[in-house]
Amino acid sequence: MKPCLFAVIAAAILFVPAIALGLPPDRIGADENAMGRANAPVTMIEYFSPGCTACAYFGTDIFPLLKAKYIDTGKVRFVMRLYPLFPIDGDAYKLARCVPKNRFFAAIDLLFHRQAEWDKGEFRVADPHGALVRLGQSLGLTVKQADDCMTSKKLDAAINAASQEAEARYAPSDTPTFVINYVKYVNGAGWDDIQTTLNAALAKHR
């Protein structure tokens, strides 16, 4: 599925190389949304869409298990990269970026838990912008701050560039798409499958 620009499960256990001709090797930038030890032996990237119900399921049900077992123990560095599928994704992401950086993951968690209140792509929501403003207030923003963040065009070029780079490097077919140690992961998206793959990646560093 192509990303929305602004003005994954397989039967077999395998990896698909992230081949991107003409691009330098992928690395985690200093301004990215990362959690965990910077020199952890495994880097796990999630390409996510805030309005994606599968992403919300991963974020609310599986991510807490991942955080407790692998991130908090220093085994995995986890990075979230936006891959927008719906127009509302840009507003939601901008809102999460408006809070202090150390609260980004808390903001995304709130967006996922209360997705039905604002996600007009998946739910019947009459005023998604107003709903996001109210969520912004829950995060400590004023109405004006939340509105200004979402209507700002400052991040649009970076969002578009990141989406196009994701297409070139990893060709996400949907969200969430995961990349483990810079290789696209296409095994099952369940917790048992993820643990199996992470344990195999960690074993290579022992």
67-109 pLDDT per residue, tens:
999 999 999 999 999 999 999 999 999 999 999 999 999 999 9
Token pair, residue 192, equals 């048992």
- Output the pLDDT for position 188: 72
- Output the pLDDT for position 11: 27
Region 139-161: mean pLDDT is: 97
Reported pTM: 0.89
Q: Give 3-state DSSP helix, strand, coil % of the chain, rounded to 5.
A: 45, 15, 40
Averaged pLDDT score across all residues of the chain: 90
What is residue 43's three-state secondary structure?
strand
pLDDT at 17 over 60: no
- Output the pLDDT for position 132: 98
Q: What are phi and psi of 161, to 5 degrees?
A: -65, -40
- Output the pLDDT for position 103: 97
What's the rounded Cα separation, in Å, for the pair 203 and 143? Answer: 49
Which residue ranges form the domains of the chain, and what is each CATH number? 15-203 (3.40.30.10)
